[in-house]
């Protein structure tokens, strides 16, 4: 999930030799004909220059242009080294490897027609267009269970004995690095002025300060618990805009962070992001958690994983408690700065959706402590 202002991107320069090659792979003929280009995404992360749909009457393809840039939100600055949490070439390398086409149980990445190195140092990914698939942004809560099962089946394979990939460009200890980007506003939890703004008084009771501070204080315990949980291949950015269904398939896009993490880590991420990005109403967040939890657990069982269900519950809740400690401080910052918008929505609307999530986050922290064995 992102929480950033909008910005414009430059128009994609379509390389005709690339386009002809991709069209020939799709249709058997390099005759491109009359085509058009539509911008699909106004990016906020520095490695993504833009994403466009290139289409004609008989074919359609998505091109994603990657580059090591310094634009975008400060929380999403890419790195040049393969070990960086946001290594700018990671997604291209993932598509060039066999990993993304090897998942079992109904989960897959979109097909990649071409990875093209350009003379300016950028890399163009020519990817299957999913315009006929159904994005999770439009799903009812119950539909998330099927895709969670597909995810659990695929990730469970690694937990039961499939060798984890060892490529140096895969992310490792990703959550720790992400959390370092999100710590800036944490002191506001102790700031009386922030809690006393009209917007904060309306939506954020001061009584929440102590449990939120406790949640942030236990972040290390939560992350350590995840690192002790059975490990698998993780997406690390599983939210509804990256999740699609077509028939009995679940298709996941945007593999920029792919790496090694805990079972349940992606599933845990999906639940708050679905609400915080305004796709599932906040009053349904507990139902969504249960649907995703049960679906993912069924997928793990499909893979042959026989571990305790509490291990999955701990992993999902520890992920949520650790990763989303920044939500309340971000709201306090927006209120203190009198921002007009939060996560690209009018501020009042955003607070209406975000504030009811905070008690859920605190409950997840409490359950994670119980499952870890840490006193509340």
- Model confidence over 86-144: pLDDT tens digits? 999 999 999 999 999 999 989 999 999 999 999 999 999 999 999 999 999 999 999 99
pLDDT of 1 strictly over 50: no
DSSP characters over 272-322? HHHHHTTSS-GGGHHHHHHHHHHHHHHHHHHHT----HHHHHHHHHHHHHH
Q: What pLDDT was estimated at residue 376? A: 46
Tens of pLDDT, residues 37-78:
999 877 766 788 889 999 999 999 999 999 987 665 667 778
C-beta atoms surrounding 30 within 10 Å: 13
Backbone angles phi, psi at 69, to 5 degrees: -110, 175
Of 78, 76, 104, nearest to 92 by C-alpha is 78
Q: Kindly state the average pLDDT of the residues 292-310.
A: 98
Above 70 in pLDDT, residue 6?
no
The H-assigned helical ranges of the chain are: 16-27, 90-96, 144-159, 174-181, 192-195, 198-203, 209-217, 219-227, 265-276, 285-303, 309-323, 327-336, 347-354, 357-372
The reported pLDDT for the residue numbered 15 is 92
Say if residue 248's pLDDT is above 60.
yes
Amino acid 7: pLDDT: 35
Q: Which of 332, 320, 302, 306 is nearest to 368 (CA)?
A: 320
Length, in residues, of the chain: 376
pLDDT in tens, 135-145: 999 999 999 99
| Mean pLDDT along residues 279-285 | 98
Instruction: Show the domains of the chain with their CATH numbers.
Output: 16-128 (3.30.200.20), 134-372 (3.90.1200)
* Tokens 């209120």, located at residue: 335
């Amino acid at each position: 999930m992102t929480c950033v202002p909008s910005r414009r991107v430059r128009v994609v320069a379509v390389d005709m030799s690339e386009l002809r090659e991709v069209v020939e792979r799709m249709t058997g003929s390099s005759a491109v004909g009359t085509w058009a280009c539509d911008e699909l995404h106004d990016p906020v992360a520095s490695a993504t220059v833009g994403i466009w749909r290139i289409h004609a009457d008989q074919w359609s393809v998505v091109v994603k242009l990657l580059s090591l840039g310094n634009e975008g939100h400060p929380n999403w600055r890419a790195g040049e080294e393969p070990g960086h949490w946001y290594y700018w070439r990671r997604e291209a390398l993932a598509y060039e490897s066999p990993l993304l086409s090897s998942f079992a149980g109904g989960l897959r990445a979109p097909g990649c027609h071409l990875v093209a190195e350009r003379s300016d140092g950028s890399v163009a990914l020519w990817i299957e267009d999913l315009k006929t698939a159904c994005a999770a942004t439009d799903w009812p809560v119950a539909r998330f269970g099927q895709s969670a099962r597909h995810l659990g089946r695929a990730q469970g394979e690694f937990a039961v004995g499939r060798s984890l990939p060892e490529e140096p460009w895969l992310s490792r200890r990703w959550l720790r690095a992400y959390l370092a980007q999100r710590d800036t506003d944490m002191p506001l939890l102790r700031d009386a002025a922030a809690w006393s703004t009209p917007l904060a008084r309306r939506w954020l009771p001061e009584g929440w300060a102590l449990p939120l501070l406790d949640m942030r204080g236990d972040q290390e315990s939560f992350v350590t618990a995840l690192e002790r949980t059975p490990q698998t291949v993780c997406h690390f950015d599983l939210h509804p805009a990256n999740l699609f269904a077509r028939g009995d398939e679940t298709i996941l896009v945007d593999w920029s962070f792919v790496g090694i993490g805990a079972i349940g880590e992606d599933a845990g991420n999906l639940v708050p992001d679905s609400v915080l990005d305004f796709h599932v109403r906040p009053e349904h967040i507990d139902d969504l958690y249960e649907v995703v939890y049960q679906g993912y657990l069924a997928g793990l069982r499909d893979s042959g994983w026989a571990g305790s269900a509490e291990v999955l519950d701990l992993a999902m809740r520890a992920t949520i408690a650790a990763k989303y400690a920044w939500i309340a401080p971000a709201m306090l910052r927006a209120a203190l700065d009198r921002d007009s918008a939060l996560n690209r929505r009018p501020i009042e609307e955003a607070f209406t959706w975000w504030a009811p999530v905070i008690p859920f986050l605190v409950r997840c922290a409490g359950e994670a402590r119980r499952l870890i064995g840490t006193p509340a």
